[in-house]
Amino acid sequence: MAQSLEHTSDTKTVSTASRNALLDQILPIVEPMIKQRLNHYEINANDREDVYQDIMLKMIKMADHFQLDQSTPLEHYVNKMIKSVKCDYVRRKVAQQKRQQLLINEYIVDYRTRCTMKPLERQLELQELQQLFSHLGALSQIERNVVECLLNDYKPREIAAQTALSDKTVYNAIQRSKLKLQKSMKNYISERDA
């Protein structure tokens, strides 16, 4: 059993050694051919080294599958790898350009939407505030002061401290204001819809 493990280990070492020897012979021969084929207008000058490294990695991984003893020349394998990697490069570039264009279009639409929505939203807010203030006429002076403080994000205790009223008076004013404004808004909506 131990002998068979040693034998398989030796076989792997031999095949790795023969593979490395094969690569040491092949790589200097094919390197100028690869670089010449990469001088193409489709491949950006900055990306040529990356594409070259991709081809070399693919060649190292596929070295075991080369059948050099048959009639197929080594140049055939190299040309197929170069073509495959170049096609992958072009596909990646096209996909990247499409993604960039889609992102640009998405941001253009978002920007235009925001530009048109802000004035419209502001106008609607102003109309709502005008309607609210027109309905404030139904409130007493204390209730108006309390509602204005609420609109300015004051809490009931802060309103009581600012207006020198008791907490209970402020809470009662808030409740009366709600009821009066609800009644006034219901009347306004029913008049508008009629």
Could you read off the pLDDT of 40-95 as tens digits, one per residue? 777 778 888 888 888 888 887 877 766 666 666 778 878 888 888 888 888 999 99
Neighbouring CB atoms inside 10 A of 1's CB total 5
- Euclidean distance between CA atoms 167 and 159, whole angstroms: 8
Q: Which two tokens stand for residue 25?
A: 């012979």
User: How confident is the model over 19-48, as pLDDT tens digits?
Assistant: 677 777 777 888 888 888 888 777 778 888
Whether 169 shows a pLDDT value over 90: the answer reads: yes
Cα-based distances in Å from 191 to 68, 138, 168, 178, 184 = 93, 17, 35, 20, 11
Domains delineated in the chain: 2-103 (1.10.1740.10), 139-193 (1.10.10.10)
| 139, pLDDT greater than 80 | yes
Tokens read off for 123: 């106008």
Distance from C-alpha of 191 to C-alpha of 176, rounded to nearest angstrom: 23
Nearest alpha-carbon partner for 144 in 155, 136, 135, 156? 136
